[in-house]
Amino acid sequence: MSAYLEYFHTIERVRNVEPRVIATTVGHHRAEFVRRRWVVEDGYLTRVMVPFLDSEEEVEADIDEEARVFRYRSPQQRSRIVTRPLSDIVLYTLRIDTWLTDLCSLIGIEPRQLSQQRTRVPDHLWHLGNARIAGTHDFAPVFVGRLWERALDSETTPVLCDPVWPRGGVLLRHRPSSDSLPRDHVMRSLNDFVRVEDGQDVFDASAFDRVLRGFLTINGVPEPEQFLQGNRLKLPHFVTSRELAPERAKIIKVMWGEEGKAPPEMPWAEVNGLANTGYQSFDDAFGGAHTSA
């Protein structure tokens, strides 16, 4: 499994990302995490729990950094000194910001599109930046969510509904989720896009781009004949789906109707009364429109 995914699982296991964590929390990937600077050594435990009869007892650790060991007096045989590797009691600081920076590079977010305010809800929600939709000048926000079940809606919803976002984006989680998000944002597992090939972390940019466009399809599977998701529209006579300008998308959404039923017949005055756009007629809105203008 990719180190990116292993690290995501690691930070999901801690209640708070600020305090130092013990070696067992970092897990057996700690050497790789240290190499990538995603965790750094930050002191040692000064007291440790050791076996005593059928239970455990807390003892003081005598740290010898030069020998890279620590010692303690056995609670069962007071004259016996036990020596253990110092690595067993190292404390680590989680450097989530470094991991997020590397994740931005893996995804391919352009430098000018990187977030200037990454942390949006401490411990739960980060904005990486805006990813370009391939072949366009459009961008979609990319977020990372942690311990989403414990996050307060009163804190996350205003962030996701902020009009600063150019369109609906993607919130990456450590595992699949069916949770719905406001404002056409979608939630996806990072595992859907990251894999290891020949020992290297690889990001599936094509699959990610399909999500950014508003409709997820499996590699090699064509888009549905017709759909409307977010501002992404596909009609039977379209070769591929198109990204609509926000005002045009409002009009289409009003006229789309319910799935499985014929779209409603509505006069322009009624449609625009609901959509509230600056257009004066259907022809004004769509006359000569070909792609995502």
3-state SS of 27-76 is HHHHHHHHHCCCEEEEEECCEEEEEECCEEEEEECEEECCCCEEEEECCC
Question: What pTM was estimated for this model as a whole?
Answer: 0.68
Give the side-chain half-sphere CA count within 13 A for 164: 11
- Residue 218 reports pLDDT greater than 70: no
71-80, 94-103, 105-114, 257-266, range with the lowest pLDDT: 257-266
Q: Residue 221 — pLDDT band, cuts 50, 70, 90? A: low
| Mean pLDDT, residues 54-72 | 85
Rounded-to-integer distance, Cα 58 and Cα 52, Å: 9
11-57 residue pLDDT tens: 998 888 888 888 888 888 989 999 999 999 888 988 878 777 777 88
168-183 residue pLDDT tens: 899 999 987 767 888 7
Q: Residue 239 — pLDDT band, cuts 50, 70, 90? A: low
pLDDT of res. 289: 47
pLDDT of res. 291: 40
User: 192: closest CA among 180, 179, 210?
Assistant: 210
Q: Are 230 and 292 in contact (CB under 8 A)?
A: no
Sign of CA dihedral 275, 280, 282, 285: negative
Q: Residue 247 — pLDDT band, cuts 50, 70, 90? A: confident
141-167 residue pLDDT tens: 999 999 999 999 999 999 999 989 878
Stronger pLDDT, 103 or 284, i.e. the higher one: 103
- Residue 105 reports pLDDT greater than 80: yes
pLDDT of res. 37: 96
- Residue 103 reports pLDDT greater than 70: yes
pLDDT of res. 3: 94
- Lateral strand order in the sheet of 139-145: 119-121, 125-132, 139-145, 170-173, 186-189
Q: What percent of the chain has pLDDT over 70?
A: 88
- Residue 223 reports pLDDT greater than 70: no
Average pLDDT, rounded, for the chain: 84
- Residue 293 reports pLDDT greater than 50: no
pLDDT of res. 50: 77
Stronger pLDDT, 70 or 125, i.e. the higher one: 125
- Residue 268 reports pLDDT greater than 70: yes
pLDDT of res. 55: 78
Phi-psi region of 68 (alpha: psi -120 to 50; beta: other; left: phi over 0): left
107-128 residue pLDDT tens: 999 999 999 999 999 999 999 9
- Residue 231 reports pLDDT greater than 70: no
